[in-house]
Amino acid sequence: MSDPNIPRHSPGNFRVQRTGPPMGARGPMIVKRDGQVEPFNRVKMIESMRHAGATPQQASLVTNRVVTRLQPGPPIPSRQVSTMVARSLSHVNPTASRNYADTRDQKLAYNERANRLSAQIAAINQQVNSATLRIGNLDSKIQGLPSRISQIRKSNFRVMTHLETDQATLFDEWLGLSPELRNTANLKGEVVRNQVQDLQQVLTNKLGLPDYNVSSLQEIESAIPQLRSNLSEMQSSIVNAMSPLEQKLESINQEVEQAENTLSLLQGASFPWEEGETPILSIRAKDLDSDFEGVITLTNLNFVFEQEKEVVLKKTLFVVTEKKTIREVKVQKPIGMIASLIHGKVGFFKGSGLFVKFVPESGIREMKFDTSSEDADWITKSYNYVNSGQAETELAAAAPPATKEQVTPQLVICKVCGAPYTEKVFRGQTSVNCKYCGAVVSIK
């Protein structure tokens, strides 16, 4: 019995009817499940229905119906297209429609599992490469330390003299470890890479077959745990050897990085440097009493706070067209006039900051600064480094030998009136005012 929905053709003269946009016009675009976009393929659609059991006439008819609903424009999801095919095919061949839907779902499950396995294999391969890169990265950073330390020394950063010794020790340890470490990484990494390549080849071969039975992927899935075990063994051998050196490098790098950041901030400093003065630390902070944004700088001699402000350089028709940021010293006191410098909670929202208390002779009672928790920790550590005398000791050890006259404490005498200065001299002070005539007396 003939199907009334199928167009009649004389025997031997069956031709696939073609509908849709005219030749030369751009046809509909299909978005595949993996996100790729490709042109609609009429032949591929007919073959998929023929594989499900549809006759050539039925497949052609359904394709024509679907094509009339696919208009050029935004790409159409492939799942939406396959749903249209299954629904239209069910009117002319319900069995083929069910077979088509089952094959589609089976193919979807197969591809999803295959893609998941492919991603797992690729991730393992990436981790092998990452382990090798980790060795190269550590080597590069260790090799780069001497030039970085040399650069900060050229910029008058003379404290933390242990950096050179620590760097040299780290370099020697790495020189002894790196050949064996690279050999281990190469040998164990090669084992894992070969296993990865084998699994990728097996998976590629299976994806080229028309069979969408998920159980056929079990061979690959069963091999992945052993692959991960080999990767873990490789990573453990590398990490165990590298971790102690990475920790030492991080400690040195933090101090060098702080010195670099300090020198970068000091490029815009507005205060002159005194003889024998060297930077310790500079950080950005906000004076909560005056609401000024600025920069705190600790040196071996002074505590300095500079306010940052914008200055208009040019206006056009009352509109500012050019301006720049400058710094201006608001507080500059000898480091010895700080009574305490502690990290605490400041401001209305109790954020991280600093409390700086000064001795009465300074003329300032207290200052509160808002800054980051990390910077607050660094400046507290730096202040203790100076206040304990460690910075002074390091500078003295690195300086040329002093003469006997330089070592012997000298009484400060005013060169104007000849009166002695008997008041307390604070750490970092380089001059005082004579109590009798008011002259400035150098105490260097």
CA distance 226 to 232: 10
CA distance 61 to 99: 18
CA distance 427 to 335: 6
Name the token pair of 59.
Answer: 């497949």
Residue 29: which H helix or E strand, with range?
Answer: strand 29-31
pLDDT at position 210 is: 74
293 torsion bin: left (phi>0), alpha (psi -120 to 50), beta (else): beta
Say how far residue 76 (Cα) sits from the centre of its chain: 37
Q: Which CATH architecture has domain 269-396?
A: Roll (2.30)
Is beta strand 351-358 parallel, antiparallel or unpaired with respect to 37-39? unpaired
The CA R_g of the chain, rounded to the nearest whole Å, is 39
Q: pLDDT tens string for the chain (444 positions)?
A: 344 444 443 333 333 333 444 433 457 889 987 788 999 899 999 999 999 999 999 999 999 999 988 877 788 998 899 999 999 999 999 999 999 999 888 888 888 899 899 999 999 999 999 988 999 999 999 999 999 999 999 999 999 999 999 999 999 999 999 999 999 899 999 999 999 999 999 998 888 777 788 888 899 999 999 999 999 999 999 999 999 999 999 999 999 999 999 999 999 999 999 888 999 999 999 999 999 999 999 999 999 999 998 887 777 877 777 888 899 999 999 999 999 999 988 765 566 789 999 999 899 999 999 999 999 999 999 999 999 999 999 998 877 765 444 444 556 666 766 555 556 667 677 776 766 677 776 776
Tokens 């894992």 correspond to 192
> Cβ atoms within 10 A of the Cβ of 328, count?
13
Q: What secondary structure letter does DSSP report for 20? A: S
Q: Provide the terminal-to-terminal Cα distance of the chain, rounded to the nearest Å.
A: 118
pLDDT at position 424 is: 64
DSSP state letters, 244-290: HHHHHHHHHHHHHHHHHHHHHHGGG--SPPPTT--EEEEEEEEETTT
Q: Where are the domains of the chain?
A: 108-265, 269-396, 404-444
Inter-axis angle of helices 42-51 and 78-90, nearest 10: 50
> Cβ atoms within 10 A of the Cβ of 15, count?
7
Residues 6+ apart with CB under 8 A from 438: none
pLDDT at position 442 is: 74
DSSP state letters, 369-399: EE--HHHHHHHHHHHHHHHTTHHHHHHHHHS
CA distance 366 to 68: 82
Rounded to 5°, the CA angle 398-399-402 comes to 135
pLDDT at position 28 is: 85
The shares of helix, strand and coil residues in the chain, as percent rounded to the nearest 5, are 50, 20, 30
What residue type is assigned to position 10 of the chain?
S
CA distance 172 to 328: 46
Asked whether 354 and 342 are in contact (CB, 8 A), the reply is yes
> Cβ atoms within 10 A of the Cβ of 154, count?
9
Asked whether 160 and 378 are in contact (CB, 8 A), the reply is no
